[in-house]
Structure 1
C-alpha cells in the first residue's frame, strides 16, 4: 500500500514549478515593459531638450542678426554723413575757385595778412573750378547718398522687420524639425509653448531719441566729420581808429545730425577786413571766399546767422548800411560768416533723405530680461500610454570677452552677444 501512495503524489512539484515560472515570466514582462516605457520617456525628454535648445538658439541667431542689421544701418548713416560733407566741400571748393578767379578778395591781400600758406591754399582752389556741380541734387554724390538712404531705410529695415516679426515662428519650426529628426515617420506632435517670454520682447522704433546720440557719438570717431572751425588774425594793426582790431580769416564748417534724424553739412570761409567811419565807428567788412550748404530739404532752416536774398555785390551800396538796415548782425562780432551763410542759403543744394531707419530694441526697460520659454510635448507611447515631457530654454545676453574698460555690457540689439541655454521649466499649476 505504501509504495502506491508515493506513486500517486509524483508530479505535484512540477505544477508548483510551472506556476512559479509563469509568475516569474509575468514579472519579467512587466519589468521589461516598464523599462521600455522609462527608456522611451527618457528619449522623449532628451529629444525635447534638444528641441528647446535649438529653439533658443534660433532666437539668439535672430537677435544677433538684428544686431548686425542695426550695425549695417548705422554704417550707412555714417557713410551718408561723409557724403553730405563731401557735397558741401565740393560746393565750397567751386565757389572759392570763382572768388579766387575774380580776385575778390585778392590772393596777395590774404598772403600779406595771413601768410603765404593761406594765399597758396586760396589760389589752389582755382583747380576746383566747376566742382560745385558735383554737389547738385542730381549729381553723383547725391545719388550715392540716396542709395545709402534706400539701403538703410528700405532694404535693411525690411529685413529687420521680417526677422523681428518671424523669429517666434522660426523657433517653433526649428523645434518641430528637431523632433521629426528624432522620430522619423511621425508627422504630428502635440507641442505647446507656455510662459513665452519672447512675446513682446522687441519693439520697433523710428526716430528714437536714443539712436540719435548714438549716431552722433559714432560720427565723432571720424575726424573728417568734426567741426571745421578756424580763425586766423593779421599780425599787424590796420586802423588807427581800431588799434585792437585785426583783419580776420574765418573758416567755419560742421556736419550735423538734426533732431529729425537728417544729415546736413555747411562750409564757409570769409575775409573780414577792419573798417571804420564816423557814423558807426569800427566794424568788420565781410568778403566771402567760399560757401556751400547741403540741407536735408528745400525748406530747411539754417542754424547760423543769415538772410534770404542777399545782394550779390555791394558796388552800389555800402556794406555797413545794408547790414544795419536789413539784418540784425553784429558788425563787430567775431563768431560766424553771416554773408557767406546767406549766399550759401541762396545757393543751397537740398539732398533728399527720409531720416532715421526703423530699428528694433528691447521693449522692456528691464535690461536683465531673457527671451525664455517652456515647451510641452505629449505623445502616445508604448501600449497606448500617454507620455508628457517638459523642457525650457532661454536666450540671454553675455559678452564672450570682458570689455576693455571692465564695465558690464547691458543687453541690447546692437551687439551680437546673444546666446542660448536650457533652464528649469516654469511651474505649471494643474486643477
Structure 2
C-alpha cells in the first residue's frame, strides 16, 4: 500500500473520537442531572421527616404539659381541702374560746375550783380563756374564717374544676395547633393548605376519665392525718381524791373533746368541747357525773350535716328548776355514769352552731387504666421537587416516669397526682405490629 492510500484512510477517521466524547459527555450530564434531582428528593424527604418528627414530639410535649397540669390541679384540690379542714377547726376553736371566756367570767365553774381539782396548770389555762372574749364571732359564716372557707370552696368547685374540664376538652385542638406551628416554622414560605397532616391513630379518647369526689376521700384523709392540728383533741384529767364510797374507783374528771372529720358526703365539720364532770350520788340512781360546761363550738359545712356525738336540741340554760340527773333521765338516753363524752356541751354547741357552706369533695380526673402510654401517629404529605408528593410518618408518646425511686420501694403506676409526665418519639404502629420506625 502506498503512502497516498494510507494518508487517505487516516484522514477519513479523523473526528470519530470527538463524537464518542460528545456522547459520553451527554450521558454524564444526564447522570449528573438525575443525581442532582435524586439528591433534591432525598434532601426534601429528610427535611420533611425532621419537621414531622419535631411536630410529633411537640404534640407529645403538649400532652405531657396537659397531664402535668391536671396533676398539679389535683394536688391543689387536695391542698385546698386541707386548708378548709384547718379553717373549720379554727372556727370550732374560736367558738370554744369565746364561750369559755363567758363561762370563766361568770365563774361557772370557777377557775379556782378547776385549779384545786386538777392542778394549777389547768386552772391557769381556764383563766387564760378570758383573752378569747368575742372569738365566737370569728366563727360566724359571715366572719373572716367563714369567708375564707367559702373562698376555698369556690376555688375548688368553680375555678379548678373548670380549668380541668377545659384542659381535657381542649387537648386535641391544642396538640394539633402545636404541630401545625412547628410545620410552619420549618416551612416558613409554605401556606397551611400545603400540609396534608393526618393523625393515623390516637389513644387520647378515654385515656383519662372523671372520678367522683368520694374516690378522692382516702387520699384527702391520708394527707390530713399528716397535720397534728387536725388530729383528735381528746384529753381527760382526773382528780386523785376518792369521792364516794359507793363508787370508790371513780373520780372527778375534766374532759376535753374535739375532732375534725369528713362526713359521708365528703364535707368537713369540726367540734370542740370542754366540761367539768363532778362525781355525785343519790339514793335514786346511785353514782353519776354532773356535767358543768366550760366551752363549746361546732362548725358544720352543710345544712343537712348532723353531729355524731351525743346531744339534744334546745338544752336548758340552767338547772335551777330541775335536777340535772332527773332531766337527763327524762329527756335523753345519755350514760352519765360510764360515758366519756361531753353531751351537754355538745348540745350547746349544736344550739349555737354556725353553718358554713361547702359543696363537698370535687370531681377530678385520673388515668382510666395504668400501664399504657399516651401515644399517637401522624402522616404528612407535602409537595416536593419536580412536583412529587412525598409522604412521611412519625409517632410520639407521653409516658409517666418518676425521676427518683419511691422511698418505700414500691412501683408507682401512671397517675395524675404526680407531675412526672414526659415526651419522646416512638415506634410507628399505625399499620399494625409489623410497622416499625419512621418513613
**Which residue number corresponds to residue 383 of structure 1?**
386
125, 131, 137: which is aligned to 1:127? 131
C-alpha offsets along residues 249-295 of structure 1, whole Å, 9 cap, x if unaligned?
11000111223221111000111111111111111111111100000
Match of 2:197 in 1: 191
Give the one of 27, 31, 54 matched to 2:58: 54
Task: Pick the aligned partner of 2:333 from 328, 344, 348.
Answer: 328
- CA apart distance, 1:36: 1.3
Structure 2 counterpart of 1:115, from 113, 119, 122 = 119
**Structure 2 match to 1:371:** 374
Partner residue, 2:437: none
Match of 2:20 in 1: 16
Q: Secondary structure at the match of 2:321?
A: coil
Which ranges in structure 2 are unaligned for 5 or more consecutive residues? 435-439
1:410 aligns with 2:413: yes
Once the two structures are overlaid, the 10-residue window that deviates more, 237-246 or 79-88, is: 237-246
Q: CA deviation at 1:98?
A: 1.2
- Larger displacement relative to structure 2 (413-422 or 253-262): 253-262
Aligned to 2:306, which of 301, 310, 321?
301
CA distance in 2, matches of 1:333, 1:162: 56
Comparing 276-285 with 401-410, greater Cα deviation is found at 401-410
Map 1:158-197 → 2, pairs under 5 A: 158-188=162-192, 189-197=195-203
Q: Does 1:66 align with 2:70?
A: yes
Indicate whether 1:265 and 2:257 are aligned.
no
Alpha-carbon distance, 1:356 to partner:
1.7
The residue that corresponds to 1:207 in the other structure is 213
Distance in 2 separating the partners of 1:191 and 1:381 = 15
What corresponds to 1:423 in structure 2? 426
Q: Structure 1 regions of 5+ residues with no counterpart? A: none
Which of 252, 257, 261 is 1:256 aligned to? 261
The answer on whether the counterparts of 1:253 and 1:266 sit within 8 Å (CA) in structure 2 is yes
- Structure 1 distance, partners of 2:276, 2:408, is 46
Give distance in 1, aligned partners of 2:203 and 2:149: 40
**Taking structure 2 as the reference length, what is the TM-score of the superposition?**
0.94
CA drift of 1:6 comes to 3.1
> TM-score with structure 1 length normalisation?
0.96
Closer, same or farther: CA 152–427 of 1 in aligned 2, 3 Å: closer
- Is 1:272–1:285's contact at 8 Å kept on the other side of the alignment? yes
Secondary structure of residue in 2 paired with 1:195: strand
How far apart, CA to CA, are the structure 1 residues paired with 2:363 and 2:164? Answer: 8
Question: Secondary structure at 2:375's aligned position in 1?
Answer: strand
1:33 pairs with 2:37: yes
- Cα distance in 2 for residues equivalent to 1:328 and 1:21: 116
Checking the alignment, whether the CA contact within 8 Å between 1:253 and 1:267 is kept in structure 2 is yes
**What is the CA-CA distance between 1:224 and the residue it aligns to?**
0.9
Cα RMSD, aligned residues only? 1.5
Does the 8 Å CA contact 1:212/1:259 hold for their aligned counterparts?
no
Is the CA contact (8 Å cut-off) linking 2:262 and 2:268 kept in structure 1? yes
SS, match of residue 403 in structure 1? coil
How far did 1:2 drift? 4.3
Give the secondary-structure state (helix, strand or coil) at the position aligned to 2:213.
coil
> Structure 1 stretch 182-191 or stretch 3-12: which is displaced more?
3-12
1:417 is displaced (CA, Å) by 0.6
Deviation at 1:401, TM superposition (A): 1.8
Give the total of aligned pairs.
427
Q: Does 1:292 align with 2:297?
A: yes
